[in-house]
Structure 1
């Protein structure tokens, strides 16, 4: 039996901030109360002056294993994640080989069970020719089915209309989509190549992968989902144009029962980089912030945040996608898309709290509660008695300056280098295990496989 007592915490949960103690036993939250100091525990954390949040659940990361481990591994990226307060992740199938069979998908679960310090789940990948394998997906055990409706690594572009129809009509569980219209992107790529050759201004990326490409694909996904009653989740919304596709939902309203929230059929995600950066930043950062879908003009950043606040966008994630510095240092056409953010996503959102753009209660809603609801995760995402103790303590009176010396993801660089963020993650608990405390890791226990109530 292992026990841990957190005292004097400013607990942020379900739209409220209260001063509470939390008693944890064998991985679960056993008791929450105003004064639990009489309880005996093998570990004690005095959280005086700090905020206790449910651990962040990141529903979109690329941890690159297997096949691309020169960029990252499940071990390195999960370690960076827990240092930043992310206790659970859902990883994408465009590894090498692509996770397009149930056997290859299970291989990733086996790697994570041996190496991941965070809780984990992996998406089953769809292609134009693996429909039968997709249909074998066991819904309580897998976060969802990933469809790239825009190009990606390997054989993962799903652009055959008949395949999309079948998948949306018959998918056994949630479909998550990357939405960019491939013909639009190809046409605009050719146009700008002819115009600029190799002497390309980096901000051209926002024009190559433009608003039209995003809206055309997202609207198609929504139409298919409405036609077939599909449980659809659209990833990384990057334009204000797309936000009109989504209804104001129950996520963010703490008075609405979880069961009612889980009835919403079409949900969406915003990523921290589309809230943080805009096209002006290409001049300073170049290909460091080249990603798909592209970071666009500043007005989109404001419109996406507004959609987060009014619950048209349900969750916030990272799309953490590391590449080596050598790879990202290539010219515009050759440099791969993607940027590493999982270690600092909570700090980034807490910076918006400090700026008065969003409340800390809403950050918790979008990064923890709503993710658990959207994916119907079993007993995670909330600070509740009987739930797994996935918890993070943050100090809003301290700072975190991003530098190569403290970056933990394997690629060793960040577009945030030199930025001082006005918060610090001090402790992270994963399934009741104190895995991170003031810069020190306890790797004696690994994270657990997420389960889903479907």
Structure 2
């Protein structure tokens, strides 16, 4: 592989911004300096022209729908959209069809990704009430972690047997990532509004049905169990301000046993948007109040929340355009997550360095991803070049998701991702994803 020399970039990395050059050889960062001279004719020189160079984003929660739900999405289409959004590595969830709850099914997904993924990839292994034997077979060095649905599950993936749950927590030292919503609370709330409205419940009641109480009950129970068993717990997609008080910011991330994530939609939207967006912003957990949104953002800045992710979960527009009880929850986000966070930078809400910490460095620390998530000598050259002053508007002509829609349609972002490098190879440039695939299976330093 030829060498690539990226010249004159503002390099955003490890809490600082340095203007300089990066030399890449065989997909690995070989040198970082204020100025690097090309020493031979086999170096391809790429002039960044002072644009901002970030580590590739690591998205720790996506649903790419393969196998079994590929009318909505697949690894090929969604990984291309991810690369266009500056996401160079993803961790995909186990609630596909069939579910990823055996080692055999897990390896089948790795095989699909090895042939179709434009980005680097790993998968969560799914826990159920009766697959502890399979959980114990998982190689923690080659799999991202364990996913448990403590609410809002599909198939048989709701883990609601408390004895089994405690046994799982005690039996693995993998990161256990959880979806926390209390099903009993949700069922009671849903029954009230279904009696009043039938199936056509107003969409703005979604955060009342999937309430703050439902989230807090489940999150606090999971944290209590993690403290009791010593398990390594990561709580996905916080949606309430109340939950943020459950998390700690007094120790470095690498030393935390209990961590949290927030998703783009819970930072961007509020319940005031349901009247306009309807089911397009129906997620589980629900988008809640503006106060919740503000508290989540503050907890992110205060390091009580450690990671920003997408929970990318596409459905067809025909599926989303159903009445409340039949419209599925979830939406596509990987292509627009980083531009959305850069919009917050323009608004003065967060620094570029903090965005990189939460989207690149911290997922690598939390999951112990090997040699990714930073711009460092000897690390894989997963890199994203951003023009902070190149406005563009999200529309159907530039959306790359297989489902063909976005909750951000009509939004104009000030920043544009111009180039994405995956393992040192140019995978995306100005709205074009190249056909050649450079994604690799993630490995973990455990």
Q: Which interval holds the TM-score relative to the shorter structure?
A: over 0.9
The alignment partner of 1:137 has SS state of coil
Task: Give me the whole-angstrom Cα distance separating, in 1, the residues matched to 2:44 and 2:273.
Answer: 45
* 1:4 correspondence with 2:4: yes
Which residue in the other structure is 1:189 paired with?
Answer: 190
| Deviation by residue 1:165-206 (Cα, 9 ceiling, x = unmatched) | 001111241100000011111111111111222342111000
| Deviation by residue 1:398-426 (Cα, 9 ceiling, x = unmatched) | 01210000000100000110100110000
* 1:417 correspondence with 2:374: no
Which residue in the other structure is 2:312 paired with?
Answer: 320
Q: Contact conserved, 2:173 with 2:232, CA < 8 A, in 1?
A: no
Which residue in the other structure is 2:263 paired with?
Answer: 271
Task: Give me the whole-angstrom Cα distance separating, in 1, the residues matched to 2:393 and 2:94.
Answer: 32
Which residue in the other structure is 2:372 paired with?
Answer: 380
Q: How does 1:62-77 map to 2 (within 5 A)?
A: 62-77=63-78
Tell me how far 1:74 sits from its aligned partner.
0.1
Task: Give me the whole-angstrom Cα distance separating, in 1, the residues matched to 2:269 and 2:396.
Answer: 20
Q: Contact conserved, 1:137 with 1:172, CA < 8 A, in 2?
A: no
Task: Give me the whole-angstrom Cα distance separating, in 2, the residues matched to 1:319 and 1:199.
Answer: 26
Which residue in the other structure is 1:145 paired with?
Answer: 146
Q: How does 1:228-247 map to 2 (within 5 A)?
A: 228-247=229-248
The alignment partner of 1:225 has SS state of helix
Task: Give me the whole-angstrom Cα distance separating, in 2, the residues matched to 1:174 and 1:69.
Answer: 28
Tell me how far 1:446 sits from its aligned partner.
2.7
* 1:311 correspondence with 2:287: no
Which residue in the other structure is 1:171 paired with?
Answer: 172
Tell me how far 1:38 sits from its aligned partner.
3.0
Q: Contact conserved, 2:116 with 2:437, CA < 8 A, in 1?
A: no
Which residue in the other structure is 1:57 paired with?
Answer: 58
Q: Contact conserved, 1:321 with 1:338, CA < 8 A, in 2?
A: yes
Tell me how far 1:235 sits from its aligned partner.
0.2
Task: Give me the whole-angstrom Cα distance separating, in 2, the residues matched to 1:70 and 1:43.
Answer: 40
Task: Give me the whole-angstrom Cα distance separating, in 1, the residues matched to 2:406 and 2:92.
Answer: 20
Task: Give me the whole-angstrom Cα distance separating, in 1, the residues matched to 2:44 and 2:324.
Answer: 51
Choose which of 323, 337, 349 in structure 1 pairs with 2:341. Answer: 349
Which residue in the other structure is 1:89 paired with?
Answer: 90
Q: Contact conserved, 1:188 with 1:208, CA < 8 A, in 2?
A: yes
Tell me how far 1:301 sits from its aligned partner.
0.2
Which residue in the other structure is 1:13 paired with?
Answer: 13
Task: Give me the whole-angstrom Cα distance separating, in 2, the residues matched to 1:10 and 1:353.
Answer: 16
Which residue in the other structure is 1:248 paired with?
Answer: 249
| Structure 2 residues without counterparts, runs of 5 or longer | none
Please tell me the root mean square deviation across aligned C-alpha atoms, in Å.
1.0
The alignment partner of 2:169 has SS state of helix
The alignment partner of 1:141 has SS state of coil
Task: Give me the whole-angstrom Cα distance separating, in 2, the residues matched to 1:301 and 1:402.
Answer: 23
Choose which of 374, 395, 401 in structure 1 pairs with 2:393. Answer: 401
Give the length in aligned residue pairs: 445
Task: Give me the whole-angstrom Cα distance separating, in 2, the residues matched to 1:440 and 1:39.
Answer: 31
Could you say if the C-alpha distance between residues 249 and 393 of structure 1 is closer, same or farther in structure 2, counting changes exceeding 3 Å? Answer: farther
Q: Contact conserved, 1:273 with 1:295, CA < 8 A, in 2?
A: yes
Tell me how far 1:250 sits from its aligned partner.
4.8
Q: Contact conserved, 1:62 with 1:92, CA < 8 A, in 2?
A: yes
Task: Give me the whole-angstrom Cα distance separating, in 1, the residues matched to 2:39 and 2:208.
Answer: 60
TM-score by length of 1: 0.97
Which residue in the other structure is 2:381 paired with?
Answer: 389
* 1:331 correspondence with 2:323: yes
Which residue in the other structure is 2:35 paired with?
Answer: 35
| Structure 1 residues without counterparts, runs of 5 or longer | 252-260
Q: Contact conserved, 2:5 with 2:38, CA < 8 A, in 1?
A: no
Task: Give me the whole-angstrom Cα distance separating, in 2, the residues matched to 1:324 and 1:440.
Answer: 23
Which residue in the other structure is 1:198 paired with?
Answer: 199
Tell me how far 1:433 sits from its aligned partner.
1.3
Q: How does 1:205-216 map to 2 (within 5 A)?
A: 205-216=206-217
The alignment partner of 1:283 has SS state of helix
Q: Which runs of 4+ in 1 moved over 4 A?
A: none
